[in-house]
Amino acid sequence: MKSKVGIYSLLLAIAGFISLEIALHLKWLEGPFWRILTTGFEAGTIGGLADWFAVSALFYEIRIPYVRRHTNIIVKNREKLTEGIVELVTTKWLSPEVLQERLANVQIANSLLKSLETRENVVKLLDFIRLIFLRFAGELDHPKLPVILQKFLKGQVHSIDLASPLGKWLREAISGNKHHELVSMALNQFSLSIHEPETRLLVLKKLKGALEAYAKRDWVKKSAVWLGQRTGGIDPDLLTDRILDLALLMVEETKDDPHHPLRRKLDQYLLEFAQNLENGDEQTLAYIAHLKQNWVLNDRTKGILSGILLQLKGNVADQLKSTDTPLMQFIQKQLIRFLEELREDKGSRFQLDQWIRASVSQLVHQYHHELGNMVRSSLGKLEDKEIMLQIKEKVGNDLQYIRLNGAVVGGMVGLLIATVRWLLL
């Protein structure tokens, strides 16, 4: 509730002054005492009015010639006041040094552990962790993520030794006849590739190139090729189809017969390849390095990574729907275990405090200017009338007592001056 003591004190001083002046003028009151008292009320009226004017000039424009330029002080000087507040906050109250000094006396780890003694707060922390993971999982299908993973794999693939373990695994698989299923899968994939239009175009192109190279050897071969093409004896399209049919037939026979001569020959090549990998053959290692690099940078690899991330997004999102899922139960157990270990290990708590203080100090130094910008922005959003009313609301009662003090002090000074004057006469 707003105090009105300033108004009442001013009215009392004015009423006392007017009443006593009238009484003295009409001879209702006589004597030095009443003259001194009247002077006191007069001085109190002047002091109260002066302080009323001074306080009012802070918030309102007093339309008195010449004087009005020095009224409405808060509104006219709001920019200076704003910068003064910003400087006070950033360099005194919340300076980096003050914040660091306060942080140095705060036992952050102990406070954290104390707040997490109740299950309610642990559940809140788990839910917060769940929301963070859920937000992260929501971005797993971002189109840039497979590209980032490819770049990461590109940088890591050179340091991964695939040759030696791959050679050992391949040799053991061939020696134990455990590779037939893998070979059958590869041949089946090769069979599917034969049916693709791109394969036919490639074979046709190679066949035409071979005929052209054969014809360039001498005029007899050139004439034979020309005559064959003219008469239809050499038909590249028909030959291509026949080659593909024979290749497909050979693949089908080889795929279903582990003892086929071609399968045995293939096993021999694979075993030799495995031994080269184990022995570190330079040419074989170069081939593996080239194969790794091509696999990482291949567009199909990007598609595979995208598919894996998309599936992972759905699975993780399902596990993060609530705190009762297996994933969240696992996280909860690990969190409780971490908190118990932290309670028992004083050194870990000290290191945690040091890390948090260092991190906060770094953030304070890096973004301390934003604190001033925040204060400046908050004050800048207020209208002139709003900022004036807010200040007046906060200090209004104190301003009333300034008016009271003006009337009281003025009255006391007036009494003193009148008494001294009476004693000197």
Q: For 312-358, what is each residue's pLDDT tens digit?
A: 888 888 888 887 888 888 888 888 888 888 888 888 888 888 888 78
Q: For 241-288, what is each residue's pLDDT tens digit?
A: 888 888 888 877 777 777 778 778 877 887 787 788 778 777 877 777
Within this chain, do residues 93 and 68 fall inside the same structural domain, yes or no?
no
Within this chain, do residues 190 and 289 fall inside the same structural domain, yes or no?
yes
Residue 336: inside a domain, yes or no? no
Residue 165: inside a domain, yes or no? yes
For residue 330, give the nearest of 129, 186, 187, 154 by alpha carbon. 129
Q: For 376-425, what is each residue's pLDDT tens digit?
A: 787 777 777 777 777 777 766 777 777 777 778 887 888 888 888 888 76
For residue 312, give the nearest of 117, 146, 103, 118 by alpha carbon. 146
Reported pTM: 0.43
Residue type, 13: A
93, 101, 123, 350, 404 from 104: Cα distances, Å = 16, 5, 29, 12, 46
Structural Rg of the chain based on CA atoms: 47
CB count in 10 Å sphere of residue 410: 23
- Whether 403 contacts 6, CB under 8 Å: yes
Q: What is the C-alpha separation between 75 and 295, in angstroms, rounded? A: 70
Within this chain, do residues 241 and 349 fall inside the same structural domain, yes or no?
no
Contacts made by residues 82-85, CB under 8 angstroms, sequence distance 24+? 82/375, 82/376, 82/379, 82/380, 83/376, 85/375, 85/379
Residue 99: inside a domain, yes or no? yes
Q: For 203-250, what is each residue's pLDDT tens digit?
A: 788 888 888 888 888 888 788 778 877 787 778 888 888 888 888 888
Residue 330: inside a domain, yes or no? no
Within this chain, do residues 52 and 195 fall inside the same structural domain, yes or no?
no
Domain hosting 402: range is 5-74+382-424
3-state secondary structure 111-176: HHHHHCCCHHHHHHHHHHHHHHHHHHHCCCCCCHHHHHHHHHHHHHHCCCCCHHHHHHHHHHHHHC
Within this chain, do residues 156 and 305 fall inside the same structural domain, yes or no?
yes
Residue 239: inside a domain, yes or no? yes
Q: For 101-126, what is each residue's pLDDT tens digit?
A: 777 777 777 888 888 888 888 888 88
